[in-house]
């Protein structure tokens, strides 16, 4: 594997919405890799709250003041194909709990089978973010609950705007 492949990582997900847990993993990946691409998966089978372009905009806004120059992109199809297009040899996956490991290890093995030049690196989320999930954020916010401690400010603003409610925080 070339140096370029080793120094570029893709952190992919639906990020619907982007949470403090996602931000934590992104920042920590930036300390390990020279280039980190936060890749929004376009999965038409999912009923997403935010469109792909909205998620790209939100993540870009959340990362604009970071010292690491993160890139934000979207992709369709197989993640390993996107990695190849981006000359990335590493997939970043965040783990919150042991329960995440079984699914994530299956995905890592499958991706390795599809392209042996792409490695998966698991990063454990920080303890403060270990309970956060996008689906939980969506559910809490749909009932007008306070999600301000779970998402970056730029996400909170977009959630409020999208739902037309100031009762989220």
Angle at 119 between CA 117 and CA 122, to 5 degrees: 175
Contact criterion met (CB below 8 Å) for 96 and 125: yes
Catalytic residue among 2, 46, 51, 64: 46
- In the structure encoding, which two tokens stand for residue 138, read together? 């969506």
Can 87 be counted among the known catalytic residues?
no
Q: Tokens 């639906």 appear where?
A: 14
How far apart are alpha carbons 103 and 84 in whole angstroms?
23
Catalytic residue among 22, 35, 93, 158: 22
Can 28 be counted among the known catalytic residues?
no
Catalytic residue among 14, 74, 134, 141: 134
Sheet strands side by side (includes 71-75): 71-75, 35-41, 8-13, 90-95, 119-124
How far apart are alpha carbons 156 and 146 in whole angstroms?
9
Can 134 be counted among the known catalytic residues?
yes
Instruction: Indicate the SS3 state at residue 34.
Output: coil
Can 141 be counted among the known catalytic residues?
no
Catalytic residue among 28, 55, 93, 96: 96
Contact criterion met (CB below 8 Å) for 130 and 24: no
Which residues are designated catalytic? 22, 46, 96, 134
């Amino acid at each position: 594997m070339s140096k370029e492949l080793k120094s570029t990582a893709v952190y992919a997900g639906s990020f619907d919405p982007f949470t403090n847990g996602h931000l934590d993993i992104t920042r920590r990946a930036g300390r390990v890799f020279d280039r980190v691409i936060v890749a929004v998966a376009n999965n038409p089978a999912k009923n997403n709250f935010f469109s792909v372009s909205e998620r790209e905009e939100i993540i870009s806004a959340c990362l604009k003041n970071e010292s690491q120059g993160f890139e934000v992109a979207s992709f369709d199809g197989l993640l390993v194909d996107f990695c190849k297009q981006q000359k990335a040899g590493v997939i970043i996956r965040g783990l919150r709990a042991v329960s995440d490991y079984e699914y994530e290890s299956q995905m890592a093995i499958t991706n390795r089978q599809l392209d042996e030049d792409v490695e998966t690196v698991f990063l454990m989320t920080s303890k403060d973010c270990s309970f956060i999930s996008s689906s939980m954020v969506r559910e809490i916010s749909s009932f007008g609950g306070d999600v301000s401690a779970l998402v970056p400010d730029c996400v909170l603003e977009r959630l409020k705007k999208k739902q037309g409610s100031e009762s989220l925080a």
